[in-house]
A and B are shown apart, each in its own frame.
Chain A
Amino acid sequence: MKSQISTNIKQKIVVVGNGMVGHHFVEQLSENDQFEITVLSAESRLAYDRVHLSEYFGGKTAEDLALTTPENYLSLGVNFQLNAKVNQIDKSAKFVTTESGDVYAYDKLILATGSFPFVPPIPGKERDHCLVYRTIDDLDEIQTSANNGKVGVVVGGGLLGLEAANALKKLGLETHVVEFAPQLMGVQLDQAGGQLLRSMIEDLGVTVHTDKATKVIIDGETSVHRMEFADGSHLETDLILFSAGIRPYDNLAREFDLTIGERGGIVVDNYCKTSDDNIYAIGECALWNNFIYGLVAPGYNMAKAAASHITGGDLQFTGADMSTKLKLMGVEVGSIGDAHAKTAGAQCYTYENQPDNIYKKIVVSQDGKTLLGAVLVGDTSDYDSLLQYALNGIELPKAPDSLILPSSSGEKPTLGVDALPDSATICSCLNVTKGDIIAAIDYGAVDVGEVKSSTKASTGCGGCTALLKNVTDNELAKRGVEVSTDICQHFAYSRTELFHIIKAEKIKTFADLIHKHGNEQAKLGCEICKPAVGSILSSVWNDYILQDDHLPLQDTNDTYLGNMQKDGTYSVVPRMPGGEVTPDKLIVIGEVAKEYNLYTKVTGGQRIDLFGARIDQLPAIWERLIAAGMETGHAYGKSLRTVKSCVGSTWCRYGVQDSMTMAIFLENRYKGLRSPHKIKFAVSGCTRECAEAQSKDIGIIATENGWNLYVSGNGGMKPRHGDLFATDLDDETLVKYIDRYLMFYVRTADRLQRTSVWLEALEGGLEYMQSVVIDDHLKVCDELEKQMADVVATYQCEWKTTIESPEQLKRFRQFVNSNDTDKNIEFVTEREQIRPARFEEKTYQGQIINTTDITELNIIEKV
């Protein structure tokens, strides 16, 4: 035995087969000069890209598809022989012989013989124009055949079959797919997914025949062939392509006594070593763990494992994920893991949208915690995050179906990228893991572009772009390189952070805050931070908002406790809890409106708005209203507006609870609460929902047993249906939940963020909110309730405080040096009431300003 090789002699490596995987193996070893590599290929050309074979009919040439060239191999010192089919192995003497009788000795033999298309044993299969779809030579034959025909049939409706059908279509043939099974892509898709794929492909002009067993192929009457099916039907065609699966090219190994699997394939271990220590098998001819991988990526990994073992390394092949995402004739198809829900106890969620041709299914484990598989047809946008859930065993959200439902049905849970292990593959094309991305950032990459160029992630199909950005941003954020959430140039804090600072350090004034925590250059603050801090100070301490310290912080509406209109006048809105008003109060409102000649209108929030009050008229107006027992309606504030209501069980014959009393109670409880944005409530007395509670920040609908609570609804610019938060609550629990919900909103929302946007932006969404408010997951409920109790206890009518203060009243005048009024404010009468005069209607000539001509305006101003 001369198995011992002396170290100064190169090891002889013989590679049988030069497909994509065989070539990949050569690449692994070609730069190592300890090896002398010889490639023996039965084909007439060196390795080419079989994955993109159909592009051969889209204009690509064999050269375009080539993965290497003879010159390239020669320069690498790789010997090769084309048209050299090996037909003999001598395992003990370690040499192989080709058909032509050439002998090649080896120290290590690599079998990368690939696979061949399976052709079912149908009588007539050997006829002319019955072809397979595997090699460039096959394609040339198909092309020639197609030139003389009109109709083409692909036998086999799997992934490759559909690829082949696409090729026939490109060649201009009337194309049919004949499938033995009841559906297309039976391996990857379930029945419903297969059905949708079928209808979409048929819409593209490909006729699909399923449940068809071809009995015989004979001469056709109108075409070259007639395929006769077991069910008695037939189909005439000029060309038949068989694409009914692959079979490993294992005959050589079989003949020379390497261990072969029951149904074919050369058995290999984790190093891709066969039953003979000096022979390896890689790619589609190899059977690992009783499985043949018909994809190129696992083949590459096998090539790497074998090369590693030969060079003394320990890289192993431990299987591969067969999940697939691809476009077939433009139809998006994705399949992950256990697509058929074969796992014991597996449960499925499906979403089907027939008008838009979308079908999605996820398969989850019995306990609902892990994702086992998925089927996506028509829309694979969820593929990447679903794959991460499946591959990494990430725990699913409580409602797993939210992962595949359209975003209009609520916020789609985003996969927290922190949950991904470093080994998680982010880019499967280029095999880039989260760890690789972290390494790139550690090495200095500071944005997605740099991560991309250093890892090559997302430079393949690009499907992982969003995930890559997510991971990159998250990692950068961890290192402090984040997109600024600073509220403005004066504070390096978000609103939420400012809230916590103010509360924790018991800061009571803006001056104190900007002194202790403002940026170095900050002096006065600005129109962004001042109202935001004013609101926070009010939420936390609930002082009179117009006291000297706070006055400069307020927006003009708060400063003058009214809503400024376009001409600089204000509107006046007394509170009318639940929309309830006594005739006496209504009369006073009418009298005031009449006396001051105010435009009067009923609002959407069930109260009355008086427009056109000059700044100097406001105190007198409010004095009258307050004397009649009314108080401010906070229509001007970022605070509770109204609690809209129906009369409920008090009057209505359908009402099941007293919605009126509840609405008035709630409005009085939360009036004056300063918040990130305005807050609207509604209470409906029965399920008819006359108060439209589901479009409010807080919506309450009476049930036979109590109250259903809806949260974060919205009308306005971006309507949002409220989410059902809790059901059948008693009065006490209802109020408790609202206390907590509102105060949590006040604490954590961004400035000018309504509850709808806030909830949608919150990671974990509604479920998270429920866990905070109902289950006290954060252990803050006591504090939230206490804080709300403080606000409720310290309520004051701001207008009452204001009219009682002579100092405050001094501010309510147009001129500091005159009792005149602003002559620019003019009204005309329309429908028996006033409205602001338009420019051309004005009589005052002192302010000759054409608002439409800014340039002219400037000139006039400067005169």
Chain B
Amino acid sequence: MNSNTLLTANSKKSQQENWQTICHQDDLVTHSGVCALLANDQQVAIFKINDNEVYTISNWDPVGSANVLYRGIIGDNKGEFFVASPLYKQRFLLNNGKCLDDESLTVNNYDTRIHEEQIQVLVA
């Protein structure tokens, strides 16, 4: 599993890492996205594939220049999950933020985990 998939409490990351609690796991919508505001004012889009797979990427659409990625349709391409921007349809891979339609584009991606039923995102 790559580092972006859901990490449970026994994460191998060290204690100093800053995991920000976002919401209860039931606040996520299966096969859909929600948006969260990080402490550093950044917006992230969190997508739930199923109970064991949750991904977080930046919410900023670098092509449309708007905070909208969480409202895109998610899908799979050759086994990898992506979100298609609701503005101009560019697809960004959920596990690494790479754009499938333009190699020069990447959006930030974040480690995500469930901690005591809470969704947490690794901020720094």
Q: Are B105 and A817 in contact (CB under 8 A)?
A: no
Given contacts A527-B75, A816-B46, A822-B67, whether A556 and B86 have CB atoms under 8 Å apart is yes
- Rounded to whole Å, the gap between the CB of B10 and the closest CB of chain A is 24
Q: Are B66 and A568 in contact (CB under 8 A)?
A: yes
Contact of B86 among A555, A817, A858, A862 (CB under 8 A): A555
- Rounded to whole Å, the gap between the CB of A817 and the closest CB of chain B is 5
Q: Are B86 and A820 in contact (CB under 8 A)?
A: no
Q: Are A527 and B23 in contact (CB under 8 A)?
A: no
**Does A530 reach chain B (CB closer than 8 Å)?**
yes
Contact of B37 among A548, A815, A857 (CB under 8 A): A815
Given contacts A524-B49, A556-B68, A849-B65, whether A858 and B32 have CB atoms under 8 Å apart is no
Q: Are A552 and B32 in contact (CB under 8 A)?
A: yes
B87 to chain A: which residues have CB within 8 Å?
A: 564, 566, 568
Kindly report which residue of chain A lies nearest to residue B71, judged by CB atoms: A556
Total contacts A to B, CB within 8 angstroms? 120
Q: Are A854 and B23 in contact (CB under 8 A)?
A: no
Q: Are B73 and A530 in contact (CB under 8 A)?
A: yes
- Rounded to whole Å, the gap between the CB of A559 and the closest CB of chain B is 7
Given contacts A527-B73, A552-B74, A839-B65, whether A564 and B30 have CB atoms under 8 Å apart is no
Contact of A524 among B22, B23, B75, B106 (CB under 8 A): B75
Q: Are A552 and B71 in contact (CB under 8 A)?
A: no
**Does B41 reach chain A (CB closer than 8 Å)?**
yes
Contact of B104 among A527, A811, A816, A855 (CB under 8 A): A855
Contact of A555 among B30, B43, B73 (CB under 8 A): B73
Q: Are A552 and B73 in contact (CB under 8 A)?
A: yes
- Rounded to whole Å, the gap between the CB of B54 and the closest CB of chain A is 12
**Does B36 reach chain A (CB closer than 8 Å)?**
yes
**Does B58 reach chain A (CB closer than 8 Å)?**
yes
- Rounded to whole Å, the gap between the CB of B109 and the closest CB of chain A is 10
Kindly report which residue of chain B lies nearest to residue A488, judged by CB atoms: B75
**Does A525 reach chain B (CB closer than 8 Å)?**
yes
Given contacts A526-B77, A861-B60, whether A815 and B66 have CB atoms under 8 Å apart is no
Q: Are A526 and B62 in contact (CB under 8 A)?
A: no
Contact of A816 among B27, B86, B105 (CB under 8 A): B27
A771 to chain B: which residues have CB within 8 Å?
A: none
Query: In the complex, A568→B66 CA distance in Å?
Result: 6
Q: Are A815 and B36 in contact (CB under 8 A)?
A: yes
Kindly report which residue of chain A lies nearest to residue B79, judged by CB atoms: A521
CB-contacts of B47-62 with A (<8 A):
49, 58, 60, 62
Q: Are A526 and B73 in contact (CB under 8 A)?
A: yes
CB-contacts of A500-554 with B (<8 A):
521-527, 530-531, 548, 551-554
Query: In the complex, A559→B32 CA distance in Å?
Result: 10
**Does A83 reach chain B (CB closer than 8 Å)?**
no
**Chain A residues with a Cβ under 8 A of chain B:** 489-490, 521-527, 530-531, 548, 551-557, 559-560, 564, 566-568, 810-811, 814-818, 820, 822-824, 839, 846-847, 849, 851, 854-855, 857-858, 861-862
Question: Apart from A527-B75, A559-B71, A823-B41, what 16 extra A-B contacts exist at CB < 8 Å?
Answer: A489-B78, A525-B76, A551-B32, A552-B30, A553-B73, A554-B73, A560-B71, A815-B37, A817-B23, A817-B36, A817-B37, A846-B41, A847-B60, A849-B60, A854-B62, A857-B62
27 chain-A/chain-B pairs, Cβ below 8 angstroms:
A521-B76, A522-B76, A526-B76, A527-B84, A531-B73, A551-B31, A552-B73, A552-B74, A554-B73, A556-B68, A556-B73, A568-B71, A815-B36, A815-B37, A815-B43, A816-B23, A817-B37, A818-B36, A822-B67, A854-B62, A855-B104, A857-B62, A858-B62, A858-B105, A861-B60, A861-B62, A861-B106
The 8 A-B residue pairs with the shortest CB-CB distance, nearest first, are A526-B75, A556-B86, A552-B31, A527-B84, A568-B66, A851-B65, A816-B34, A523-B76
